[in-house]
Chains A and B, each alone.
Chain A
């Protein structure tokens, strides 16, 4: 993997230039945010639910090894094979071996962000396994060879026409279809035979219940249920942070998940997997892939509470205007910006800066992750680890010095004013000044407040208590 920092700003600029896509993207996600708000208003106990969900997750994370072992024991009793994968490579190897043992060449799968993390599809392709995504949005992204741009609605950055074009290429449908229902039907027709002839099915898992040794998958299309039950072999890939201690806890999370995600009271399908079907086999692969290390990060471990609802993305004004692909990572949006750097600090060093720190994400998060505060803290960490571009670092260094020396500062202000009123427009608005690319500069003024005060309130003015610091 290249370590070159993702250029989010440039990708975002590109995204913004395409008005129809941008507008649809912004409005669609804002609509999801508003539907979420409506659901919240229906439940007077919303804030209590968030508090409870956060508490349960923090408790579980603080005793993660115990609960994981409890799950393993109980799952085995249920006839589930449990595997442990330290990282993506190990995960892929385990899955590959299970498939090989069953001589399985066709794998159907429902959406799972963890398999994206592990980059599983190319690995299995090399082994001669054909992987078919069954979630509509995920399938569109697979056919278009793109990462999901959103963790809940993976193809939300695409318009109907884009999908029609992709399907025309792969499914030989009419490229001019503009009715989403027809496109969904085309996908159904294409997917059904693949599903019926699959050798194995794979799902993710939204929640893993320790006390029962079971796991829960929430979808709206029912594709996970087809993937899991049509073939006899079911493999579920799940991050180790997805644990909850008790079945009773599900009452809290199920009430929050879909309301936060799409603004619907519950997902269409909420399936509890309790063991293999008759004559079948069920495997759970528990994936670490950096999670244990994250759990040890004092400022960032609570990001593991995430239930992947996507609410922080829907509300994020930057995400809505830059699109998920601009983050250049498996996880985009606010949650992506705080967890991606744990996978590759240099590559994702730009993402914590793709935020105004406005804090809306934190407010909508159903498990109360302090996302914007973690963004702020990441910036500190990245600077300490020298992951800020040299020029920007130097500018801040000089600005910091200047701000400590009032007389030099005053002189600099004068120079700025002079330049604002005298510099030719093309200098102000071009390479010197990204500010002016889409914005006018502030107007020059006759006098600063400081000047005004010296003239009008001079007697009351007092110098600083101590002499200014020498550099």
Chain B
């Protein structure tokens, strides 16, 4: 569907206008394109001028996280070439945002690189903190969902309060989801527990990783969730794989899809 039909004029008047570069992480590109499409359409509905540079690949995180930092240089350099010209860079992934913001140092830290690092946002924080979206009139989701905060969004980007610190409860993804009609929330027993994806950890420590994943999806399922919703498709990919193998009947959806008006 052409994007113009998605743009209500009120959004254009209401939200600040910026030139946005959209980064779609590799696993969303390859396995969860709908999450990417929803992100783009949502930003367009909110009146934003969004471009997706076609020659993008990866932010460098897999190499950086494995300690092979010098191998992240090519990906990081390409990332900067792709995105330096935008006011803001938005991506539907907490862990990639965390990499760009906190660990992106395989290449010399030029002004361009610094600009990119300082202006990269994960989708939820962008909607919540920059656009300060107060309504998603098109969104309705008549299901019970369990929110999975990835460790990247929770403990690095700090989009929600962390149980270990005893801080005043807050949750940016919950704030946004609460504006969706019909949605109900399930509360798992261990909401902050890591699901065990961890990048290459999922393969090098596959037994622990998969066990953590199964425990995670069971916790949500037992709390009554029909869907696990998350801002990170990498966690979803892992959890979905675990749920399907273990026969836990639960579905998965990216937060962008719900906010963009998906009904299931």
A382 located at the interface, meaning its Cβ lies under 8 Å from any Cβ of chain B in the complex:
yes
Residues of chain B contacted by A322 (CB below 8 angstroms): 208
Which A residues from 18 to 53 make CB contacts under 8 A with B?
Answer: 22, 26, 30, 37, 40-41, 46-47
> Is A464 a contact partner of B194 (Cβ separation < 8 A)?
no
Q: Once the chains are docked, how many angstroms separate the CA of A453 from the CA of B214?
A: 34
Q: Once the chains are docked, how many angstroms separate the CA of A155 from the CA of B150?
A: 32
Which A residues from 284 to 300 make CB contacts under 8 A with B?
Answer: none
Taking the nearest CB of chain B, how far is it from the CB of A428, in angstroms? Answer: 11
> Is A465 a contact partner of B85 (Cβ separation < 8 A)?
yes
A248 located at the interface, meaning its Cβ lies under 8 Å from any Cβ of chain B in the complex:
no
- Can you name 28 A-B pairs with beta carbons within 8 Å? A9-B206, A12-B207, A13-B208, A30-B190, A317-B212, A354-B205, A355-B201, A356-B151, A356-B197, A358-B155, A359-B151, A360-B194, A376-B103, A379-B66, A399-B62, A400-B72, A404-B75, A406-B56, A406-B57, A409-B58, A441-B241, A442-B27, A445-B30, A445-B33, A448-B29, A450-B24, A454-B54, A464-B55
Produce 1/0 per residue, B19-57, CB < 8 A to A.
000001011111111001100100000000011111111
> Is A315 a contact partner of B164 (Cβ separation < 8 A)?
yes
> Is B238 a contact partner of A406 (Cβ separation < 8 A)?
no
> Is B240 a contact partner of A440 (Cβ separation < 8 A)?
yes
B242 located at the interface, meaning its Cβ lies under 8 Å from any Cβ of chain A in the complex:
yes
Q: Which 7 A-B pairs have the closest CB atoms?
A: A404-B74, A379-B67, A400-B71, A356-B198, A439-B241, A363-B164, A438-B210
From A321, A357, A468, B198 is in contact (CB under 8 Å) with A357
Residues of chain A contacted by B62 (CB below 8 angstroms): 396, 399
Q: Once the chains are docked, how many angstroms separate the CA of A465 from the CA of B83?
A: 9
> Is B206 a contact partner of A437 (Cβ separation < 8 A)?
yes
Q: Once the chains are docked, how many angstroms separate the CA of A409 from the CA of B82?
A: 15
B223 located at the interface, meaning its Cβ lies under 8 Å from any Cβ of chain A in the complex:
no
Most buried by B among A399, A403, A434: A403
> Is A358 a contact partner of B241 (Cβ separation < 8 A)?
no
Q: Once the chains are docked, how many angstroms separate the CA of A469 from the CA of B55?
A: 12
B187 located at the interface, meaning its Cβ lies under 8 Å from any Cβ of chain A in the complex:
no
Chain B residue at smallest Cβ distance from A22: B211
Give the interface segment out of A117-125, A215-223, A233-241, A455-463.
A455-463
Produce 1/0 per residue, A188-227, CB < 8 A to B.
0000000000000000000000000000000000000000
Interface of A is mostly: helix
Which B residues from 189 to 235 make CB contacts under 8 A with A?
Answer: 190, 192-194, 196-215
Known: A13-B207, A383-B66. A47 touches B165 (CB 8 A): yes
Residues of chain A contacted by B242 (CB below 8 angstroms): 438-439
Residues of chain B contacted by A401 (CB below 8 angstroms): 71, 74
> Is A442 a contact partner of B201 (Cβ separation < 8 A)?
no
Residues of chain B contacted by A451 (CB below 8 angstroms): 33
Most buried by B among A8, A9, A402: A9
Residues of chain B contacted by A417 (CB below 8 angstroms): 30
Residues of chain A contacted by B209 (CB below 8 angstroms): 356
A393 located at the interface, meaning its Cβ lies under 8 Å from any Cβ of chain B in the complex:
yes
Q: Once the chains are docked, how many angstroms separate the CA of A352 from the CA of B198?
A: 13
> Is A383 a contact partner of B206 (Cβ separation < 8 A)?
no
Interface of B is mostly: helix
Excluding A317-B194, A413-B30, A435-B241, 18 further A-B contacts by CB distance (< 8 Å) are: A353-B204, A360-B164, A360-B192, A363-B155, A378-B67, A396-B66, A396-B71, A397-B71, A400-B70, A400-B71, A400-B74, A403-B63, A405-B74, A445-B33, A447-B33, A449-B24, A449-B36, A469-B77
Produce 1/0 per residue, B92-124, CB < 8 A to A.
000000000001000000000000000000000
Known: A380-B69, A397-B68. A468 touches B37 (CB 8 A): no
Residues of chain A contacted by B63 (CB below 8 angstroms): 396, 399-400, 403
Residues of chain B contacted by A436 (CB below 8 angstroms): 241
> Is A453 a contact partner of B241 (Cβ separation < 8 A)?
no
B144 located at the interface, meaning its Cβ lies under 8 Å from any Cβ of chain A in the complex:
no
Taking the nearest CB of chain A, how far is it from the CB of B47, in angstroms? Answer: 15
Which B residues from 59 to 92 make CB contacts under 8 A with A?
Answer: 60, 62-63, 65-75, 77-78, 81-82, 84-85
Taking the nearest CB of chain A, how far is it from the CB of B207, in angstroms? Answer: 4
> Is A452 a contact partner of B33 (Cβ separation < 8 A)?
yes
